[in-house]
Amino acid sequence: MKYKRILLKLSGEALMGNKGFGIDQERLMEYAKEIKDAYDAGCQVALVIGGGNIFRGIQAEKGGMDRVHGDYMGMLATVINSMAIQSALEGLGVQTRLQSAIKMEQICEPFIRRKAVRHLEKGRVVIFGAGSGNPYFTTDSAAALRAIEIEAEVILKGTRVDGIYTADPEKDKTATKYDQISFDEVYSKGLEVMDLTAFTLCKENNLPIIVFDMNKKGNLQNLLKGDKVGTLVIA
C-alpha cells in the first residue's frame, strides 16, 4: 500500500447524490463501503466532510445573515453529516470515533490531537466534525489543518470530477486533465483545487493533495495501491 495514513476530504454536496438537499442514503452507503475497503486494507483513515448539502454560511451571509452566525450553523451541518457517515461505517463493522472542534459531549469527543492519532493507531476511522471550530475558515482549511496535525501522508479530495483540468470540464469540452501539477503551477494558472488558506497550508507543510473522482467505484482503493488516479499536487 502506497499510503499508510490519509485524510479523506468529502464535500457535503457529494452526499446529496441525485437529491437536491440533505443526505442520499444510497450515496452515503457507497462512500462508506469505499472507506471500509481502505480500512480493511490496513490504511489509517481520517475523514472531514463539508456541510453544504444542509447549510452554507457564505450563502446565508448573502441573504443578510451575520457571517459568524452562519458559519457556526454550517459547522453544525458538518456534524450531522459526520454522524451519518459514522453510523454507515459502524453498520459495516468499522470502528470509528467522531471528534468535534465544538464541544458536544453527548454525541462526540472534543478534538484532541493525541487521542485522534491514538485512535488511528488502534485501527479506528477518525471523523473530524465542526470544521476547525472557527468562523471564516472552510472545511477545506479544516482538512488541511487536521491532516498536518495527525501527520497524514496525503490529503485525498474526493469530488465528482476525476482530477484537475485546465478549465471546468463540465463547461469547457476542450479542457485537458493534469496527471501531476506543482503547487506553484496551480497558483500561477489560477486553478481551483482548495481554498487559498487550505492550499497554502498544504504547500508550506509539503503535504501532497490528490483530487479524484470519489463516485467511481474502486477509485479510492486503486489510489491507495499506487495506481495513477486523479491529479497529484506536489511541491
**Confidence at residue 60, expressed as pLDDT on a 0 to 100 scale:** 74
Residue spans of beta strands (DSSP E) within the chain: 5-10, 44-49, 96-100, 109-110, 125-129, 154-159, 164-165, 177-178, 180-182, 209-213, 231-234
As a CATH number, domain 5-234 is 3.40.1160.10
3-state SS assignment for residue 217: coil
How many H-runs (helices) and E-runs (strands) does the chain carry? Answer: 8, 11
Q: What is the pLDDT of residues 115-161, one digit of tens each?
A: 999 999 999 999 999 999 999 999 999 999 999 999 999 999 999 88
3-state SS assignment for residue 231: strand
Q: What is the pLDDT of residues 157-180, one digit of tens each?
A: 999 889 999 988 888 889 999 999
CA distance 187 to 194: 11
Instruction: Specify whether the CB–CB gap between 158 and 224 falls below 8 A.
Output: no
Which residue's entry shows cell 451519518?
A: 84
3-state SS assignment for residue 11: coil
Cell of 201: 497550508
What are residue 155's DSSP bridge partners?
7, 209
**Confidence at residue 1, expressed as pLDDT on a 0 to 100 scale:** 80
What are residue 127's DSSP bridge partners?
47, 98
The residues of the chain scoring below 50 in pLDDT are: none
CA distance 10 to 67: 23
**Confidence at residue 170, expressed as pLDDT on a 0 to 100 scale:** 80
Dihedral angle over CA of 14, 215, 146, 1, nearest 10 = 170
| Residue in 77, 4, 18 with CA at minimum distance from that of residue 46 | 4
Domain boundaries, the chain: 5-234
CA distance 81 to 21: 12
**Confidence at residue 186, expressed as pLDDT on a 0 to 100 scale:** 94
